[in-house]
């Protein structure tokens, strides 16, 4: 036998063994699957389901409950008589085919049966759940019925025992209670008949009706309390108070109290009707509107009452304040007219005070009219109060402004004295400066000094002349005095610089004698001498000498200058 034949035989043997092994594995797998499907079908025949069916069958169900039970039991029996039986037959065929190693046939049968068994299991579970629900309806309905009946009885007793709180809607509430009671009878009859599904639906309606009733009761109580007790009492109080205020000569024009009270009573009756019909949201909304109007009436009456108290308390005070302000205005005008003869009032103080006085006189006239109205009666006190608040503000502002004007002008006399004293002081200062220049015995006075001196003297004379006028402008004079002081300060500084420069020229010229043989020093001395003695330019002469001596002997002038200012 050739090698190729040997290899072929070995391959065929191995292949045959592999096929046999695969067949054995598949056979075992299919056997397990078929066994599992048999178990699943066996589990469906649950004795507990049979017990539930038997219990339901003995309940004498009726109506929707009976219809549903009958339909589910029929489906349950059909599943076991047809679907389960057929599935078992197919599984038996699959067992036979698998034992005969007709593996493909067995596999096809399993492929067909497996989803069917799953479907049957789903259907049986659904039917079992339905049977349990029917049983549960019976138990739950009994529990719910007892709980709702107790809740209903409690509400009925409560409403009857507190009937006044719900009197407006008592008839409607009793109708609701009666309707609920009828529904309880319906549940009872349906339970007796065995229609537990319909009984459950009616119980749900009862629960909703009781919940609605519980929601209504607080709103009925609240709106009824407002309509029967609170609002009528408030309207009576408003009417009584208003009549009393009319007797005491109050006048209320903001609203017509009588007409408003009448409208409110009509609104109360309308709201009562809404409550009696259990249109509670509409009634609550209407009550809110009634309350707002009542509050508005209270606010108006209170406002007028407080306004009268204000008028009574402040009338005499305002009279006193107006008298005081008018008197002060007259005095201030006279004072300003007198001052205006001697001083120019540059900010229109006199015209301003006359305007303030005229305004106060006008306000006083209006106040007199208001007082007469108050005396005659029938006045709107809140309007008077508002007006008098503004009057008080104007009096205060007028007093403050006039006091400020008085303080401002009161200082004019002192200002004039100060201005005259300043002029005398300026004259003395200028005279001292001039004598200081004279005592130095310089060859002459620089033109810049003479010009500034002349300017200051003329300024002093001009301002002094203004102070001698019959009517003076102190504000203008004050500005001039400041300018004169500045010019005197400048004149004093220039004078000091001139005298210091003249002294330093002499000291520097003496020091330059050390270098009298140097032409540049000789020339500098000559130029400086001419500037000093002929042109009176002392600062310029010092600059020439200082520059020359510093050039010959650096630092020498600085020493001369330093020694000079140390003395």
pLDDT in tens, 95-153: 666 566 665 666 666 666 667 766 666 666 676 666 566 666 665 556 666 676 777 77
- Find tokens 């009057």 and name the residue: 391
The residues, any chain, with a CB within 8 Å of residue 148's CB and separated by 6 or more, are 184, 203, 206, 207, 210
pLDDT at position 8 over 70: no
Tell me what pLDDT residue 397 has: 92
Average the pLDDT over 343-365 and give the result: 78
Residue 474 has pLDDT above 90, yes or no: no
Q: What's the confidence (pLDDT) of residue 294?
A: 92
Instruction: Tell me the average pLDDT across 332-360.
Output: 73
pLDDT of residue 169: 73
What is the number of alpha carbons within 13 Å of residue 36 lying toward its C-beta?
11
CA 196 – CA 218 distance, rounded (Å):
34
Structure confidence by residue, pLDDT tens digits, 219-248: 888 888 888 899 999 999 999 998 988 888
Average pLDDT over residues 20-42: 61
Q: What is the tens place of the pLDDT at every residue in 177-207?
A: 777 778 777 777 776 666 667 777 877 888 8
How sure is the predictor about 384, in pLDDT bands with cuts at 50, 70 and 90? Answer: confident
DSSP letter (8 states) at residue 468:
T
Buried b (16+ CB within 10 A) or exposed e, 511-546: bbeebeeeeebeebbeebeebbeeebbbbbbbebbb
DSSP 172-221: HHHHHHHHHHHHHHHHHHHHHHT-HHHHHHHHHHHHHHHHHHHHHHHHHH
Using DSSP, state whether 86 is helix, strand or coil: helix
Taking residues 384-404, report their average pLDDT: 90
Whole-angstrom distance, CA of residue 17 vs CA of residue 23? 10
Contact 237, 252 (CB under 8 A): no
What is the phi-psi region of residue 451: left when phi exceeds 0, alpha when psi lies from -120 to 50, beta otherwise? alpha
Average predicted confidence (pLDDT) for the chain: 78
Contacts for 306 with CB less than 8 Å, ≥ 6 apart: 385
pTM, 2 dp: 0.51
* pLDDT of 80 higher than 70: no
């Amino acid at each position: 036998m050739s090698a190729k034949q040997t290899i072929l035989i070995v391959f065929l043997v191995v292949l045959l063994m592999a096929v046999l092994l695969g067949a054995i594995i598949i056979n075992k797998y299919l056997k397990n699957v078929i066994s599992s499907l048999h178990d699943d079908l066996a589990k469906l025949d649950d004795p507990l389901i049979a017990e539930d069916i038997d219990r339901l069958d003995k309940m004498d169900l009726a109506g929707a409950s009976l219809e549903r039970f009958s339909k589910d039991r029929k489906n349950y029996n059909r599943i076991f008589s047809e679907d389960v039986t057929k599935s078992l037959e197919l599984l038996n065929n699959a067992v036979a085919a698998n034992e005969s190693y007709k593996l493909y046939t067995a596999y096809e049968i399993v492929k067909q049966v497996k989803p069917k068994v799953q479907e049957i299991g789903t259907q049986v579970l659904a039917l079992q759940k339905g049977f349990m629900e029917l049983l549960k309806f019976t138990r739950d309905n009994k529990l719910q019925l007892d709980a709702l009946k107790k809740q209903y009885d409690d509400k009925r007793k409560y409403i009857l025992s507190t009937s006044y709180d719900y009197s407006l809607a008592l008839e409607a509430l009793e109708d609701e209670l009666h309707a609920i009671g009828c529904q309880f009878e319906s549940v009872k009859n349906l339970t007796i008949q065995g229609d537990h599904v319909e009984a459950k639906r009616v119980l749900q309606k009862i629960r909703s009706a009781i919940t609605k009733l519980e929601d209504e009761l607080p709103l009925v109580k609240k709106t009824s309390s407002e309509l029967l007790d609170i609002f009528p009492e408030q309207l009576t109080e408003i009417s009584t108070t208003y009549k009393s205020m009319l007797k005491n000569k109050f006048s209320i024009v903001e609203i017509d109290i009588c007409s408003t009270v009448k409208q409110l009573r009509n609104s109360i009756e309308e709201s009562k009707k809404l409550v009696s019909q259990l249109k509670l949201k509409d009634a609550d909304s209407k009550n809110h509107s009634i309350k707002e109007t009542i509050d508005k009436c209270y606010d108006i009456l209170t406002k007028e009452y407080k306004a009268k108290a204000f008028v009574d308390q402040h009338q005499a005070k305002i009279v006193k304040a107006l008298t005081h302000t008018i008197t002060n205005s007259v005095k201030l005008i006279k004072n300003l007219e007198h001052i205006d003869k001697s001083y120019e009032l540059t900010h229109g103080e006199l015209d301003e005070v006359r305007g303030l006085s005229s305004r106060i006189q006008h306000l006083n006239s209006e106040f007199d009219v208001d007082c007469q109205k108050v005396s005659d009666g029938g006045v709107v006190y809140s309007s008077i109060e508002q007006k008098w608040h503004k009057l008080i503000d104007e009096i205060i502002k007028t007093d403050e402004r006039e006091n400020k004007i008085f303080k401002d002008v009161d200082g004019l006399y002192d200002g004039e004295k100060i201005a005259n004293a300043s002029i005398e002081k300026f004259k003395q200062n200028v005279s001292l400066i001039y004598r200081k220049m004279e005592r130095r015995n310089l060859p002459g006075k620089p033109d810049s000094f003479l010009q500034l001196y002349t300017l200051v003297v003329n300024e002093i004379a001009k301002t002094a002349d203004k102070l001698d006028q019959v009517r003076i402008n102190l504000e203008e004079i004050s500005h001039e005095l400041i300018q004169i002081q500045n010019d005197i300060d400048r004149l004093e500084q220039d004078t000091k610089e001139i005298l210091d420069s003249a002294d330093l020229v002499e000291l520097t010229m003496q020091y330059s004698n050390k270098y009298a043989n140097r032409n540049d020093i000789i020339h500098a001395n000559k130029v400086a001498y001419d500037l000093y003695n002929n042109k009176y330019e002392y600062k310029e002469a010092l600059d020439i000498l200082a520059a020359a001596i510093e050039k010959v002997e650096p630092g020498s002038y600085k020493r001369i200058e330093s020694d000079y200012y140390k003395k």
